[in-house]
Amino acid sequence: MKTRWGAAVAAATISIAAFGASALAQQVSPLPPPGPAANSPNARAAQAAALIKLQAHGEELFNTRCKGCHMPPVEHAPSRAELAAQFPNVISDALKTGKMQPMAAGLSDEDIGAIAAFVTGQQPDAKFDLAGESRNACPAGAKFNPAGPSWNGWSPDKQNSRVAASTTINAANTPKLQVKWAFAYQGGRYGEPTVVGNRVFVTSSSGQVYALDKQSGCVAWAYKARGPVRVTVSVGKNPKAASGWAAYFGDMNRTQVAVDANTGKELWNVSIDSGPRGILTGAPTLWGDTLYVPLSSFEEGVAGLAAYECCKQRGAVAALDIATGRIKWKSYSIPTAPAPFKKNSAGTQMYGPAGGAIWSSPTIDPKRGVLYVATGDSYTDVEEGYSDAVEAMDLKTGKIRWAHQMTALDHFLVGCPPQRPGANCPTPNGPDFDFGSSPILKHLAGGKDILLAGQKSGGVYGLDPEDGKIIWQLRIGKGSALGGVEWGMAADDDNLYVGVADRGMPTLTALRLTDGALIWRHRAPEPPKCSFTSGRCGNGYSGPPSLANGVLFGVNQDGHVRAFEAKTGKLIWDYDTAAAHYDTVNGVKNQRGGNLDATGMTFAGPMAFLMAGFNGASGSSGPDNVLLAFSVDGK
């Protein structure tokens, strides 16, 4: 997208609905244009020579610090080509305050700028054009109206079934769905669209959070977060908001925020964790006067360095007061705090247990007074029984009522190949069989309940929510670090619908709720054919499916969203988001979609919404990122 956007710097919160389009111009200041002297041939030649020198220095640093994980890419790491599709500030931020901090230890700001210049081929101070992205402001005085159909947060219900509660889209009109409007944005697409009343709330890795008009896509307000925002927004009542409603979301720097849903004005912010390797990835779950925020981690991706004290980060859930942000309680997924247990071969102190990241949104069970979460792998050779597990936590205290570990001894770090394990690498390095998706709680005929969970191992489980005991289990895929069940499932009153991202066997499968019996299975087209040219072309169903009036919508890494009759598995609609070119409502011409990964389609009333583009869980990067709003015949 850097070929279509200028360079600008964002400042502060933009509240367009309250102040009109003029506020946008006042709040976002573009970089000053170069003067006549800067445009002279001699000046341009000097600038080019300086950039070449800077890039040469950056190449040296990249080769010593970064090449081992990116050329070729290991596990979750983006490739060299995918890094090149980023803006320089994305690279710099990752090295200064983000995931790659340990790799940048001892580097100056100039060194980091040199790496960014080499990787992207641009001046190191080139940034997102946030002013351009926010053009097409809604008319002054436009107000948020929460009444009407909604898809609020990760799922319309707090049991995370992902069934649309209020949509007119059905099997008869799904084949007529067309794009009504499109909104282009920079940075990776992460959280899925939240729809409440007349607004659509979206986030991106640029740190921008937007409230858009549902019918037109105009920008009601934009909020610049303190870091990239990966989570899906949750909206709910708040006594401190002038409108009475707040939008809740967190950033990759572990800051949870509440803003007025009408204006985007910040109400409060709070740091969820002091650990520098923690991140917020799962949508917060709002229940009563409490916001339940899951804490994840990227430590497994950076802990392979011999000088790194691996590992200290644990997953957690924090319960926040919605009015003030005060943390009522915080419960770690692994109760035992990390402690020294040995020194590695380089003499660096190691710690454990660690890991158990909570990647996804908590599931609420009001009847039992608990929430359910699923956890990621362990990082060190200290077994604890809580990684790769499903857990029940008390809603009032956070106390773990029960935990059921599905894969023991899954101690895993990125960059630990068997042929050359590093000083911190577990022995052996585990298979990386996290739970990345939220558990689903369903009520069965006859009065019983069942808790459903899917794992990157390809395992799917039906559990008794009282104690976590397995009712049934089935392995529907081989699983891998980026395979199996990644980001979600959906369930109606009869079946559980599961996407599998395995290479060679990517499927969308319907299983009977009561016993896991196979109802139908769809296999994605092989080999994958992608209309986009940048980013990785895959065909896994890694994103979560969604249900709307008996229609199952599955999102695929090949850029297609496909709709099936939920009962039979019959394909009734197939839309390639990257095949079309969109003239977007915020002024970008010929925008395209791309990889669909990590988030699904959402529905409200006569409309459906989908984030298409790059920088999902697969690590894919590309220049085309777009929010698509669908309606019947595009009307």
Q: What are phi and psi of 11, to 5 degrees?
A: -140, 125
Helical (H) or strand (E) element with 69: helix 67-70
Instruction: Write the DSSP string, 392-447.
Output: EEETTT--EEEEEESSTT-B--TT--TTS--TT--SS--------S--EEEEPTTS
Helical (H) or strand (E) element with 165: none
Identify whether 294 is preceded by a cis peptide bond (ω within 30 of 0): no
CATH architecture of 231-426: Beta Barrel (2.40)
Question: How many separate helices (H) and strands (E) can be counted in the chain?
Answer: 8, 38
Query: What confidence tier does 621 reach under pLDDT thresholds 50, 70, 90?
Result: very low
Distance CA 297, CA 275 (A): 9
Lowest mean pLDDT segment, chosen from 118-122, 177-181, 598-602: 118-122
User: How far is it between the farthest Cα atoms of the chain?
Assistant: 82
pLDDT recorded at residue 16: 36
Stretch 601-620: mean pLDDT, rounded?
79
Give 453's strand partners: 461
Distance CA 635, CA 631 (A): 6
Q: Residue type at 483?
A: G
pLDDT recorded at residue 547: 99
Q: What are phi and psi of 42, to 5 degrees?
A: -65, -40
Residue 115 · residue 214 · CB < 8 Å: no
What are the tens digits of pLDDT across the range 556-587?
A: 999 999 999 999 999 999 999 999 999 999 99
pLDDT recorded at residue 117: 84
Q: Residue type at 471?
A: I
pLDDT recorded at residue 30: 32
Residue that wins the pLDDT comparison between 1 and 46: 46
Distance CA 615, CA 625 (A): 9
What percent of the chain is modeled with pLDDT above 70? 89
| CA 108 from centre of chain | 30
Query: What confidence tier does 34 reach under pLDDT thresholds 50, 70, 90?
Result: very low
Stretch 170-191: mean pLDDT, rounded?
90
What are the tens digits of pLDDT across the range 327-359?
A: 999 999 999 999 999 999 999 999 999 999 999
Q: What are phi and psi of 9, to 5 degrees?
A: -115, 130
Distance CA 434, CA 177 (A): 35
Q: How many CA atoms lie within 13 A of 52 on its CB side?
A: 6
Distance CA 485, CA 361 (A): 15
Question: pTM for the complete prediction?
Answer: 0.88
Q: Which two tokens stand for residue 105?
A: 């230890």
Q: Which two tokens stand for residue 148?
A: 């009407």
pLDDT recorded at residue 75: 63
Q: What are phi and psi of 369, to 5 degrees?
A: 70, 35
The domain segmentation of the chain, as residue ranges, is 44-120, 231-426
Residue 614 · residue 535 · CB < 8 Å: yes
Q: Going along 513-581, which residue ranges are E strands?
A: 518-523, 546-548, 551-555, 560-565, 571-576
Distance CA 399, CA 405 (A): 17
- In sequence order, the 6+-apart residues with CB closer than 8 A to the CB of 314 are 275, 297, 332, 333, 334, 337, 338, 353, 354, 355, 356
- CATH level 3 topology of 44-120: Cytochrome Bc1 Complex; Chain D, domain 2 (1.10.760)
Q: Which two tokens stand for residue 532?
A: 């986009």
Distance CA 82, CA 66 (A): 14
Closest CA to 317 of 386, 404, 261: 386
Do the domains 231-426 and 44-120 match in fold?
no
What DSSP character marks residue 298?
-
Stretch 540-552: mean pLDDT, rounded?
97
Q: To which residue do tokens 């997208």 refer?
A: 1
Residue that wins the pLDDT comparison between 194 and 78: 194
Helical (H) or strand (E) element with 47: helix 41-65
Using CB atoms within 10 A of its CB, is residue 569 exposed (0-12), middle (13-18) or buried (19+)? middle
